[in-house]
Amino acid sequence: MTIPLSAPDIEQAEIDAVVEVLRSGRLSLGRRMEEFEAGMAAYTGTAHAVAVSSGTAALHLAIRALGIGEGDEVILPSFTFIAAANAVRYERAKPVFVDIDPHRLNLDPKRIEEAITPRTRAILAVHTFGVPAAMDEILEIAASRGLFVIEDACEALGAELAGKKVGTFGDAGVFGFYPNKQITTAEGGVVVTNETEIAARVRSLRNHGREPAAEPHEYYEVGYNYRLSELHCALGVEQLKRIKTILLGREAIAVAYHQRLGRLEKIELPILDVPGGRVSWFAFVVRLKQSDGKRRDEIVCELGRSGIEAGRYFPAIHLQPTYRDATTEHKSLPVTESVAGRTIALPFFNRITDRELTLVCEALEELA
């Protein structure tokens, strides 16, 4: 592909930091991990940040640390990356899918209440594509029903509501740093929380169930190998230093797309802002105005043939083969199903050039 869908933004400082770790001889559970965790806690404004091997691992440990398990239900959107639902199932809990707001493409608070049962333990709010979810309403529902709130902010580092970073409103929030994210650690994730007990349990679970201050080879519960290496953390430390510039640059790319594609009558553009908040641009996802999954797929294929990589973000989870079983209720989610069949993720990365933007927009205009 001449224009990729995404690409990491790596500078010499990141390369030097990784090389320094390789030469140090300390490759895991060292100073760079502590530095990255402290940086994430400071940036998000939380008391604790715990680095783990991926955003999926962060979701899994947040769910487990809250004691959610077999027979429990977790409310979440179907229009998101499948890891959110998978992490619920890792603990033998049941994902309960509700429909999305057609504007923000996040959980529709009006649909949450009707999905709550005596088995409901938590609401998993996803800040899809970096757009903040309606946290005020979600938190109000959760408080009235005694439910946990977990925020999947894997696509939303830097997004805000009322001057507060997303991922910090609920009992725990998670971030991911895959190479297509705003900043990357190659692979990696972080759990943030203001609850000391939650942070301590996540720290133990990521390292096979060992307590940090315990004697060697003393394990207090069945845990996992979800550690994040010093190499990954060193990369994250350097990336985090540039977060402000990176977010502003991505915002400028989104605005440029809006200006160039605004005249296309058959295309619906993503929202640029939310009241009292800030979008953090993970991806630029347009929608065909008519529900036609076949035509969407044809456009994606034609873009690919012309050297422009595009994506289908996101297929509805509840329609996936692995979710058509007894663990979930197969029900219609009309907004989710309509949106999922019309989305086209366009090339979006920190260093995309003006020429590349022009080529993408001209190709889409011709096809749409």
Catalytic residue positions, numbered: 181
Of 104, 86, 82, 103, give the one whose Cα is nearest residue 94: 86
Contact assessment for residue 179 and residue 44, using Cβ atoms and an 8 Å cutoff: no
How many Cα atoms occupy the beta-carbon half-sphere of 34 within 13 Å?
5
Helices (H), the chain: 12-24, 31-44, 55-65, 83-90, 109-112, 135-145, 196-205, 230-241, 243-261, 293-305, 334-340, 354-367
Contact assessment for residue 139 and residue 162, using Cβ atoms and an 8 Å cutoff: no
Q: Is 121 helix (H, G, I), strand (E, B) or coil?
A: strand
Distance in angstroms (rounded) separating the CA atoms of residues 41 and 276: 23
- For 309, residues 6+ apart whose C-beta sits below 8 A from its C-beta are 1, 3, 4, 5, 303, 347
Written as six digits, the tokens of 95 are: 């994902």
End-to-end CA distance of the chain: 21
Distance in angstroms (rounded) separating the CA atoms of residues 262 and 268: 8
Distance in angstroms (rounded) separating the CA atoms of residues 268 and 119: 38
Distances (CA, A) of 55 to 155, 157, 317, 357, 358: 10, 12, 18, 29, 33
Contact assessment for residue 61 and residue 191, using Cβ atoms and an 8 Å cutoff: yes
Sign of CA dihedral 78, 58, 133, 312: negative
Q: Which amino acid is at 320?
A: Q
Of 198, 206, 153, give the one whose Cα is nearest residue 171: 198
Distance in angstroms (rounded) separating the CA atoms of residues 211 and 205: 9
